[in-house]
């Protein structure tokens, strides 16, 4: 994609979509209010659209997470991908592949955002590679146990009226992964789920 597309996407990232506060079913049978208790500091979620800035990853001094043997988040990553694919199956969409090669960078982005306190900061700044073409993020959600509640809110945004990516429906559209962005068709096939201390969780789509 051209740089102008990435710049437009970057500008959109600073618009924050408020998470719904009413109770709603989650994948584990809990409710929205349960998720709120698990992460009392979380007031918002944020979705970022496609990005291909051509900017080389920079060294942030934040080491990438080892996602091989001994990965403390391995089960959480499996659960994350499975839950996203559960929603995709509702639309008869093929499952996303677990994008293992992108998980170290997803962790690094989650830790960078937690450190700076700014959602999508690592994605915008391309602090590592491979970082994907789209990102959803759950900031300060309390940990992997709260992820299903976050994903439920994202899915509840539903499709955009025009089929074009927009902030109001961005989480849902990234989970679906097949939409138009500034005239370009996006078709994601895999997702890398990243985690950090403090409950920051990202899903990078490619």
Helix (H, G, I), strand (E, B) or coil at 171: helix
Q: For residues 169 and 147, what is the distance between their CA atoms, to the nearest angstrom?
A: 18
Residue 49 per-residue DSSP state: -
Helix (H, G, I), strand (E, B) or coil at 66: coil
Percent of the chain with pLDDT over 70: 67
Tell me the CATH number at 122. Answer: 3.40.33.10
Would you report the helix, strand and coil content of the chain in percent, each value rounded to 5? 40, 15, 45
Beta bridge partners, 194, equal: 202
Residue 164 per-residue DSSP state: B
Tell me which range, 58-62, 74-78, 165-169, is most confidently predicted by mean pLDDT.
74-78
Q: Looking at the 3D structure of the chain, how many domains does it have? A: 1
Residue 178 pLDDT:
93
Q: Which domain holds residue 149?
A: 3-205
The pTM assigned to this predicted structure is 0.72
């Amino acid at each position: 994609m051209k740089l102008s597309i990435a710049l437009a996407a970057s500008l959109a990232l600073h618009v924050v979509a408020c998470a719904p506060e009413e109770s709603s079913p989650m994948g584990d049978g809990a409710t929205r209010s349960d998720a709120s208790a698990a992460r009392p500091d979380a007031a918002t979620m944020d979705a970022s659209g496609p990005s291909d800035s051509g900017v080389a990853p920079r060294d942030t001094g934040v080491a990438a997470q080892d996602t091989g043997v001994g990965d403390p988040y391995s089960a959480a990553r499996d659960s994350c991908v499975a839950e996203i694919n559960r929603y995709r199956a509702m639309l008869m969409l093929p499952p996303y592949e677990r994008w293992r090669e992108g998980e170290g960078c997803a962790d690094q982005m989650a830790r960078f955002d937690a450190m700076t306190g700014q959602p999508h900061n690592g994605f915008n700044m391309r602090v590592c590679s491979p970082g994907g073409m789209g990102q959803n993020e759950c900031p300060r959600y309390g940990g992997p146990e709260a992820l299903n509640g976050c994903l439920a809110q994202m899915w509840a945004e539903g499709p955009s009226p025009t089929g074009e990516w927009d902030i109001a429906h961005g989480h849902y559209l990234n989970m679906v992964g097949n939409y138009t962005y500034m005239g370009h068709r996006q078709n994601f096939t895999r997702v890398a789920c990243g985690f950090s201390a403090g409950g920051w969780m990202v899903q990078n789509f490619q």
